[in-house]
Amino acid sequence: MASKPQKSPHASVDRADMLVDRWLQNPQALDKASLAVVYEIIEKWRERLYSISWFMRCVSETVARMANEEENCKGRFWEGRFKSQALLDGAALLSCMAYVDLNPLRASLEQDLIDSDFTSIQQRLYDVAKYKNNKNKDEKRLQSRVNKQRQIKTLLRLSSLPEAPLMPFSGSAQSSEHCALPFSRSDYFDLVDRTGRLFCEHKTGFIADTVPPILERFGVDAKHWLQHIKFFNLNYSFCIGRVERMRHFVAIADRGLGKGLSSAAKIFH
């Protein structure tokens, strides 16, 4: 008795793609059964578009394939899942940005923000310097670092991928965090620069007359700022902000608070 031919594992995917293409060209041309399949596909895509987990899965897979190809090996590249933390107010947003931008300095990989490749602070510094006709020594070094990164992107076939622009600064603490950063560029640069110097000089914190004004504006305790930035990702579970914001968030999310309340009470006033 002849065996049934094996169905291609990609057959259903190919058929789905064809149905979607036909629906895009002329929705009225599909019967009810085909439309039901198309709507099911659309709903699945919609869920994936707003899923952080799915986004991280796609990013991780791409990086893993590139790394395995470079190392000429196979296997799992990532050892653990990503961590998602909700930033509940401007102070939390400011803290997270500084934490990420200062990663190379905190880890003693670099000694200067200019040399902190692939960070938003380096890109923002470059965006300011690139319009100057007469660049100083540091600005020329910054230009060279950014050019090398572009070469790396081209080498890895990433240069053709679109890049989302960095969110602009508004200079107003009343601005919505969804539209613009609620602080000025100069204040943020000053904060990150001063904090980075403390890391590089192995100091424990700011002295009274050197506290960046932006910390006072957002009610952040300067005395605990350095420790807050060093262990930012470890001190909180799934939300970060002032105590009342954290309590409100967990009430809406209907889940336990987890860790972070004592840290928030200490740093955010």
DSSP 203-229: --S--GGG--HHHHHTTB-HHHHHHHH
Computed over every residue of the chain, the mean pLDDT equals 84
Tokens at 31, concatenated: 């019967």
Q: Is the pLDDT of residue 4 over 90?
A: no
Residues across the chain = 269
Same domain, residue pair 186 and 108: yes
128 within a domain of the structure (yes/no): no
Range of 45's domain? 13-49
Q: Considering the chain, what percentage of its residues have pLDDT values greater than 70?
A: 87
Could you give the CA distance from residue 224 to residue 198 in angstroms, rounded to a whole number?
13
End-to-end CA distance of the chain: 79
In a domain, 201, yes or no: yes
* Cβ count near 251 (within 10 Å): 10
Instruction: Indicate the pLDDT class of residue 171, thresholds 50, 70 and 90.
Output: low
Q: Is residue 192 part of a domain?
A: yes
pTM: predicted TM-score of the whole model, two decimal places? 0.73
What does the alpha-carbon distance between residue 53 and residue 65 come to, in Å, rounded to a whole number? 18
Structural domain count of the chain: 2
Q: Considering the domain boundaries, does residue 139 fall inside one?
A: no
243 falls within a domain: yes
- 173 pLDDT more than 80: no
Would you state the torsion angle of the CA atoms of residues 103, 109, 113, 117, taken in this order, to the nearest 10 degrees? -80
Kindly tell me the burial class for residue 146, based on how many C-beta atoms sit within 10 Å of its own C-beta (0-12, 13-18, 19 or more).
buried
Question: Do both 17 and 93 map to the same domain?
Answer: no
pLDDT at 208 exceeding the cut of 80? no
State how far the Cα of 117 lies from the Cα of 107, in Å rounded to an integer: 13
With 0-12 / 13-18 / 19 or more C-beta atoms within 10 angstroms meaning exposed / middle / buried, residue 143 is: middle
**What confidence tens digit (pLDDT) does each residue in 216-249 have?**
999 999 999 999 999 998 899 889 999 999 999 9
Confidence at 81, pLDDT banded by 50, 70, 90: low
In this structure, is residue 162 part of a structural domain? no
Give the other-Cβ count within 10 Å of 147's Cβ: 11
Q: What is the pLDDT of residue 76?
A: 67
Neighbours of 225 (CB within 10 A): 22
